[in-house]
Amino acid sequence: GENVEQHPSTLSVQEGDSAVIKCTYSDSASNYFPWYKQELGKGPQLIIDIRSNVGEKKDQRIAVTLNKTAKHFSLHITETQPEDSAVYFCAASGSGGSYIPTFGRGTSLIVHP
């Protein structure tokens, strides 16, 4: 089955800095890569996703890049704000006919004002 590794587990930045979270996946058949943000006491919420036919996608201050050859994808957040503080999960799906995403272990992002 699919295996998703996510790093770092904790990321502390100053307000205004950029934050980068990296994930690798094992199954080359995976073709859909969503990123979720989970705030305390809430369920994960999709913030951006990318499919295997593109290499990069941007939405205001967040962007995701995908390298299919190396089987890794990254989340980039620019101009971080305190409200960006949360746990971020990457996921991969679409392998071998199964469309259920496999999630990484999460990155706790702390943005200091």
Partner 1 sequence: EAGVVQSPRYKIIEKKQPVAFWCNPISGHNTLYWYLQNLGQGPELLIRYENEEAVDDSQLPKDRFSAERLKGVDSTLKIQPAELGDSAVYLCASSLGVAGAVQYFGPGTRLTVT
Q: Please tell me whether residue 91 binds partner 1 under the rule CB under 8 A.
A: yes
Q: Does 103 bind partner 1 (CB under 8 A)?
A: yes
Q: Pick from 12, 45, 67, 81: which binds partner 1 (CB under 8 A)?
A: 45
d(CA 21, CA 105): 12
Question: Should residue 66 be labelled a site residue for partner 1 when binding is judged by CB under 8 A?
Answer: no
Q: Determine the Cα–Cα distance for residues 57 and 66; give it in Å rounded to an integer.
A: 9
First-residue to last-residue Cα distance in the chain: 41
Query: Counting contacts by CB under 8 A, is residue 51 touching partner 1?
Result: yes
Query: Cα-atom radius of gyration of the chain, to the nearest Å?
Result: 14
Q: Does 101 bind partner 1 (CB under 8 A)?
A: yes
Are 74 and 21 contacting, i.e. CB atoms less than 8 angstroms apart? yes
Q: Which residues bind partner 1 (CB under 8 A)?
A: 4, 6, 31-32, 34, 36, 41-46, 49, 51, 89, 91, 93-94, 98-101, 103-106
